[in-house]
Structure 1
Amino acid sequence: MSVTVYTKQHCPQCDATKRQFAKQGVDFDLVDLTDNRELVDEFIAKGFRQTPIVVTDEETWSGYRPDLIRKVAEAAKVYA
């Protein structure tokens, strides 16, 4: 399962999301949006207004979502 977390600096929700994925044992790629205006514009065009933005094989969401993090962790165990 592929998981990418798009973050920015000084973002408590981003930090909480990364901690929860790590705690659940889910490997993820990290992309810092701080200096990537083009990617930020793409996410804004898609309706995302807050970080983190989490992209998995099955869904995409923004903000700190412990319920969805648990769902991804459970699915990742199936793929393992």
Structure 2
Amino acid sequence: MIVTVFTKPKCEPCNATKRKLDKLGVRYTAIDVTESPEAVARLKALGYLGAPVVECGDMHWQGYSPDKCKQLADNLAATQPADEQAAGEYLEQSA
């Protein structure tokens, strides 16, 4: 399953989100929205205007949320090989 973290420079919530995911062993791709008009368009399409935004399958959230990061890590570990629908359902239940 692909995890993407949309970030921007000097953003403490962005850095905290990446640190938490790193600590939990979640592999992700970080995209700097200040360098990618496509990323900005993607965030707007999802309904967000700020960073960080974490996107995984059909689920996404804005802001630093250690609980959601932990739930995502737990779900990813439990669904090897990755299953996007299961991850979405797991995150939906905890929202």
TM-score by length of 1: 0.87
The Cα of 1:12 is off from its aligned counterpart by: 0.2
Q: C-alpha separation between the residues in 2 aligned to 1:26 and 1:46? A: 22
Q: C-alpha separation between the residues in 1 aligned to 2:56 and 2:2? A: 6
1:1-80 superposed matches below 5 A? 1-80=1-80
Runs of 4+ in 1 over 3 A off after TM superposition: none
Q: C-alpha separation between the residues in 2 aligned to 1:55 and 1:48? A: 11
Which runs of 5 or more residues in structure 2 are unaligned? Answer: 81-95
The Cα of 1:39 is off from its aligned counterpart by: 2.7
Q: Is the 8 A contact 2:6 2:39 kept in 1?
A: no
The Cα of 1:67 is off from its aligned counterpart by: 1.2
Alignment coverage as a number of residue pairs: 80
Instruction: Report which stretch shifted further, 32-41 or 20-29.
Output: 32-41
Indicate how the Cα distance of structure 1 residues 8 and 58 shifts in structure 2: closer, same or farther if over 3 A, else same.
Answer: same
Indicate how the Cα distance of structure 1 residues 76 and 38 shifts in structure 2: closer, same or farther if over 3 A, else same.
Answer: closer
Instruction: Report which stretch shifted further, 46-55 or 17-26.
Output: 46-55
The CA RMSD over aligned residues, in Å, is 1.5
Q: C-alpha separation between the residues in 2 aligned to 1:57 and 1:42? A: 13
Partner of 2:54: helix, strand, or coil?
strand
Indicate how the Cα distance of structure 1 residues 74 and 39 shifts in structure 2: closer, same or farther if over 3 A, else same.
Answer: same
